[in-house]
Structure 1
Amino acid sequence: MSVSVRLATLEDAEALLAIYAPYVTDTAVTFDYEVPDLEAFKKRMIQIMAFYPYLVAEEAGSILGYAYASAFHARAAYAWSAEVTIYLAMENKGKGFGTKLYQALERYLTKMGILNCNACIASTACESPYLANHSQLFHEKMGYQLVGKFHQVGYKFDQWFDMIWMEKMLGDHNLAITKPKSIQEVLVNDKNNC
């Protein structure tokens, strides 16, 4: 079977929440303390999907992981930047699914006119059973650069964790730019050009 990447739907929410939950309960990858309920998770998805791509990787109908982009900041001048996020089912790490998801996500973001991808990543300088810095290594492999570090800003499992920012430039930063398109505008344009 081959792995495919597609746009997420609200029908995927339960499977995506099942992937996210162990990151909340067992790791410091996310600084959430409690797993959101299904309705809260769907609301997050709806907010993101209103403008940005929200993708799932699946094989034989089984969802392996997901990735999405969201607003980097609410102020208008940040419109060309997006925050990127990825979660894979624990048993699916290191198999290339994350690479497929991010490649597809970056293709969509480029079509939208997004120039900067920013990733907010939990980090630790000390060995921890809750965080192994795999996300930082993955982002480095995908061409992201470390641009900032906030020391001991997240407290979870009775220990402090750092937070780093990594970025990747998707396009040229020239002065002749247009406002980014929504994912819906990109999909309509792609459909019309088939």
Structure 2
Amino acid sequence: MNDVTIRNATCEDAESILTIYSYYVKNTAITFEISMPTLDEFQQRIAGTLTRYPYLVAIRNGIIVGYAYAGAFVGREAYNHSAELTIYLSPEEKGHGTGRKLYTALEQELSVMGITNLYACIGSPITPDEYLTHNSENFHAHLGFTKVGTFHKCGRKFDRYYNMIWMEKILELVPDTNS
């Protein structure tokens, strides 16, 4: 049973969210961020996201155990029906269905906003190692995302190169009025 609740994040959640994120910055190549952002920087990131997109947290027993948010895809007006998604869970929270629950809630909110194209930018190992596996790619594929592109050796962390892949999920096909 998944006794996790999902709610909208606030800037006051930044410290708990940053604690989760810090694990990934320090110990993985899941994020290509190398230096830890400050609490103030993270609060500004959350506030900036909330001006236009949903930012959700998952709570178990009163503790934030994961978060997911959407952001602009490319940042041009013609892409307003598209969004890039991000998700992080506390390491011990994996395998409990929390990631699926967060993404499902995020997709529902984005759909109501008229966003139909979802994208995920995912670190991908050239060869799986102790810092990066194919788990993120597999998670997204399990939720209906399809791999659409690879950028080779574009990230460097822990003195090794990593690829970056893009995955997409189309919530609703919009009729093409040009045909």
- Note the C-alpha offset of 1:104: 0.2
The aligned counterpart of 2:112 is: 111
The aligned counterpart of 1:55 is: 56
Amino acid at match of 1:145: T
Structure 2 Cα separation of the partners of residues 37 and 74 of structure 1:
25
Residues 5-55 of structure 1, C-alpha deviations (whole Å, 9 max, x = no match): 110011111000000001001100000011100000011111111000000
Question: How is 1:62-141 mapped onto 2 (pairs within 5 angstroms)?
Answer: 62-141=63-142
Percent sequence identity is 49
Residues 50-95 of structure 1, C-alpha deviations (whole Å, 9 max, x = no match): 0000000101211110000000111110110000000000111111
Could you tell me whether the CA contact under 8 Å between 2:128 and 2:134 is conserved in 1?
Answer: no
Q: Show structure 1 runs of 4+ deviating over 2 A.
A: none
The aligned counterpart of 1:187 is: none
Root-mean-square deviation (CA, aligned residues, Å) is: 1.1
Structure 1 Cα separation of the partners of residues 128 and 114 of structure 2:
39
Question: How is 1:1-194 mapped onto 2 (pairs within 5 angstroms)?
Answer: 2-174=3-175
In the superposition, the TM-score normalised over structure 2's length comes to 0.96
The aligned counterpart of 1:182 is: none
In the superposition, the TM-score normalised over structure 1's length comes to 0.88
Structure 2 Cα separation of the partners of residues 161 and 105 of structure 1:
28
- Describe the SS at the equivalent of 1:150: strand
- Note the C-alpha offset of 1:175: 5.0
Structure 2 Cα separation of the partners of residues 94 and 133 of structure 1:
15
Matched pairs, number: 176
Structure 2 Cα separation of the partners of residues 52 and 6 of structure 1:
14
